[in-house]
């Protein structure tokens, strides 16, 4: 029946995730001391996004940094294009273990849509652009590896929708967050009406969206919008540094297991428990024949740290 077909489809998706072919890592600028983000200021559209594949002990961590200081990191056509390319590269690269989405501009995560660009669009262009932004955020949410949004400043409208598509959100206590679209007589159009209720509950999400309310990092943690709210530091990257700590916790674990766990959770949360358990079984079956599973057992027996290769 339909359930069996759905499980078979998921089983095939599990297999395809495990067998993703590795891609060459993109050459990216190094981070400065202990993983802190280097700030960039440029009017060149090629600098709107910086993607860094970390190396050494942090190999496997990818940092995606938004860098549009003059536009408060607002989402325009070029940024959407560059982020699509970055997400595609990450998706193809078997060596990636986790992704941190952050800002390279102090005090701002992302102020939402670029309203200056939007004002110049013909009415017929608005719908397709919003659809493209929605598709981008969906692709971000569908990345097979853990994604962490490091919110060190204002995340409003589409900026918060991007963060909501990530698996985990970490903010500074001074960061400001809100879906404020109703102030402009529109509604969240890149997943906000769907993801926010799933994260914080229907009634509270309605309150925030109806009132276009903005909350700070401390309030966001209290309502479950972010997992951690950390005190901001002098360099303005406290949430990023906490996100890096978390990525370093994830890094040593079995990469195929992490991918399967994410898939099982994401698919299972949308269905009844019985179907969810069948999804878990389908995902579990993919880790049984891996070399990493045998390495984990050997390391436990020999009382050493396992060395997982994603095989």
pLDDT in tens, 229-279: 999 999 999 999 999 999 999 999 999 999 999 999 999 999 999 999 999
Annotated catalytic residue, options 65, 153, 158, 192: 158
- DSSP string over 189-227: -SSHHHHHHHHH-HHHHHHHHHHT--EEHHHHHHTTSSS
Burial of 141 from C-beta contacts in 10 A (0-12 / 13-18 / 19+)? middle
| 113 flagged as catalytic | yes
Please report which helix (H) or strand (E) contains residue 52, including its range. strand 49-53
| pLDDT surpassing 50 at residue 25 | no
- Domains of the chain: residue spans and CATH: 49-251 (3.90.226.10), 253-310 (1.10.12.10)
pLDDT tens string 133-188: 889 999 999 999 999 999 999 999 999 999 999 999 999 999 999 999 999 999 99
Compute φ and ψ for 99, nearest 5 degrees: -130, 135
pTM listed for this prediction: 0.83
Of the residues 71, 161, 189, 217, only one is catalytic, namely 161
Identified catalytic residue from 111, 181, 247, 264: 181
Active site residue 201: no
Helix (H, G, I), strand (E, B) or coil at 171: strand
Model confidence pLDDT, tens digit, residues 87-96:
999 999 999 9
* Residue 191 and residue 185 in contact, taking contact as beta carbons nearer than 8 Å: no
């Amino acid at each position: 029946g339909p359930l069996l077909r759905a499980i078979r489809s998921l089983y095939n998706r599990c297999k395809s995730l495990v067998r993703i072919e590795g891609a060459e890592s993109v050459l990216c600028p190094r981070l400065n001391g202990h993983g802190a983000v280097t700030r960039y200021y440029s009017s060149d559209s090629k600098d709107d996004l910086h993607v860094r594949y970390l190396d050494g002990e942090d190999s496997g961590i990818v940092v995606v940094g938004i860098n549009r200081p003059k536009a408060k990191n607002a989402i325009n056509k070029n940024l959407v294009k560059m982020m699509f390319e970055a997400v595609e590269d990450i998706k193809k690269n078997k060596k990636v273990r986790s992704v941190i989405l952050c800002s390279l501009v102090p005090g701002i995560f992302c102020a939402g849509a670029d309203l200056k660009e939007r004002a110049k669009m013909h009415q017929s262009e608005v719908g397709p652009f919003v659809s493209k932004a929605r598709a981008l955020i969906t692709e971000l949410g569908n990345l097979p590896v853990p994604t962490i949004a490091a919110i060190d400043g204002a995340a409003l409208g589409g900026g918060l929708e991007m963060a909501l598509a990530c698996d985990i959100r970490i903010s500074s206590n001074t960061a400001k967050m809100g879906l404020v679209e109703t102030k402009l007589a529109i509604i969240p159009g890149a997943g906000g009406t769907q993801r926010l209720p799933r994260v914080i509950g229907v009634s509270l999400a309605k309150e925030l969206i109806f009132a276009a309310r903005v909350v700070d990092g401390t309030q966001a943690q209290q309502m479950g919008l972010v997992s951690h709210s950390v005190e901001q530091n002098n360099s303005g990257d406290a949430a990023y540094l906490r996100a890096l700590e978390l990525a370093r916790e994830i890094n040593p674990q079995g990469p195929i297991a992490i991918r399967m766990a994410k898939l099982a959770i994401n698919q299972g949360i949308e269905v009844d428990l019985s179907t969810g358990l069948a999804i878990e079984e389908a995902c579990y079956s993919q880790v049984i024949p891996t070399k990493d599973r045998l390495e984990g057992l050997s390391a436990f027996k020999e009382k050493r740290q396992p060395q997982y290769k994603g095989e």
